[in-house]
Structure 1
Amino acid sequence: MFFLMALACDLPKPPEPAKPKTPACELALDKLPGSAWLYSKPQPSGANKPDPTARLRFRDEAGALKADYTAGSSSDVFQYDCASDGKIATCTESNPHADAFCMGYAAVHDGVCDPAAVSTLTGIPLDVVTKAAETVNADLKKLKGDEIAQQRKSDNSPNNKMRGKFKVAIDKGNCGLTVVDKYMTMVDGKVNEFENVIGTAKFTKTEENFTWESCKDADSAWAPGPDDSHLAAQPAGAIKFSAMLQKDQQKGTAGCTLTAEVYKDWIKAEGELTATTDAKWGPRWDTSISLSETGKHVVYFDRYKTCDGKKERIGMTCAMVRVE
């Protein structure tokens, strides 16, 4: 027995199991189209938390890299044109906002927008600036007295976010993105760039089914209180949300089935709602949504009509509440 015990002590220990290798990050700028990302927001304590108010999606449009980005907005989605040098992609808002730059230039040039100068400063095509300048200069000529002083003060401020711009680099260590979120403005006749509210931040990939459309109609949805008016602040729990059609949207819906897809905090819920008929509002959708986290929440209704078997989209509406 002693011999067997001694022999066992002399046996070599089995090798430790090999640690699984971390898969290599294959993410690259040319692989971004078709992917969506969320801002990884730092928390007072603990790990970062994905924040869907700053969500970013890349897509390919006729071979060109495009992006949809919310920039921290609860209801707006902005479109960007992107160019990559292989290491960094620079994305500039597709809407050049030539009128805003014209106003900024005019604020320090005797109330006159010079299209050629603004085009040179901003890179916006001359024909686009010229068209904007026609309207801007006509409006500025109508100003009198204190209005002139106010225009020259308000349109010459670094707080005027005239055009969005961000840069993207691959974060190989986390297999994510590093985004530098900025906006362009004009101060003292010069174009400047300042960091937006998101600043320099990490973004993580998401597979959630988010909406990528701006909510331009906030008047057709609400979170009804006891008297059916919008109750903007509500306690946590099951909260009722409603949507309706404006009078002009109700035209051509007689005899049609009216349905809506619902998005809770920009994420599409399963199934769809069928409208009922309300004596006051006409077609109306009602749903109850559980909201437990304090803060701002947004619910979208994407409305459709099906007439004679043909389904057509009416459009999106949204309502916002603050859970206390």
Structure 2
Amino acid sequence: MYAIVTLQDSDEVVVAPTNWLSLDKKQCYWPPFRSPDKCMEAVQYRIKPETGGKPWEKLNISFHREHGTFEKAKEGQKETKEQKERSYLLATGFSGMLKKQRLECTQEMLKQQLLPEPSASTSRMPADADKHELLQMLRDIKSTVQENSAMLKKLLKDNKGSEVPSSTSIPPKDVNTNIKLPLKTIKEVARTERQLEKNATTREKYVRCLSRLGGFGQKDVIKNIMQHLLTDDLASKFNWQGRGNKKPFSKLILTDVIRDAALKQSVMRIDCDAELKNYLWSITDRIGRNKPRVCGGLTSDAMLLDSSFQSVTGMSFD
């Protein structure tokens, strides 16, 4: 049996084997694997929730329903995601905008129907040969677009491991006015948090700046925003919930700013949070591969930055 659940930490809808759930269905074991494919394999084959004899971490969940097969559970996951997105649109007023657009479209169609029909002398239809030519041109254009799209996806995949931000992360010249990015230190994050909390105009400037970075798909949108907002070294000091010696990225006002900017690029909050979480994980992996591991706890400089961050934000993440 497989269950459809929402991970409360990330608000992500996932499929989980029922043998991973607690008896009250309020918690669920979750694999620590960084690879999505490996996680999917663990779910599909209902492996025992432990690694090297050590049980996995339990996460708080919201239980939705159960299915007898993995395939049915995947279909249920998709339906649940769509329901959550519809609820989010209703809560944020997007449904009203969509209704207005449909009404305007209907009115335009009625207007066109009420227009007098053109006279016979002005309503000459193209010959069949011309129609075939037009259709062929449309097919050629569609084929060219598909080829270009495939080439673009391949280029993005080839450059996935590169440290250089994609070309879409270069904002227009007028965007960076009075905004100094990327942030490099915890002190700069704390100072920015104060500015965002006190000044709505500053917050809107950040949203406008980050929303114009663009991207091809939700993953690229979030990657461009994060690379423009934080250096890799600074991003590596955060994880989503602030476990261990990391700061909790989910509690920052900056995270809400990123959500607003991503929404302008049609990235829903659920998907935005999931991509942010994955980005922070991948940064940790990359920094860990490229730098020697430091043992013995925090250095004195790190402790000083931590103290400074807590004093200016009023938040303690221990």
Q: Which structure has greater strand proportion?
A: 1
The two structures have a TM-score, normalised by structure 1, of 0.19
Larger Rg, first or second structure (1 or 2): 1
The two structures have a TM-score, normalised by structure 2, of 0.19
| Structure with more contact order per residue of length (Cα contacts < 8 Å, sep ≥ 6) | 2
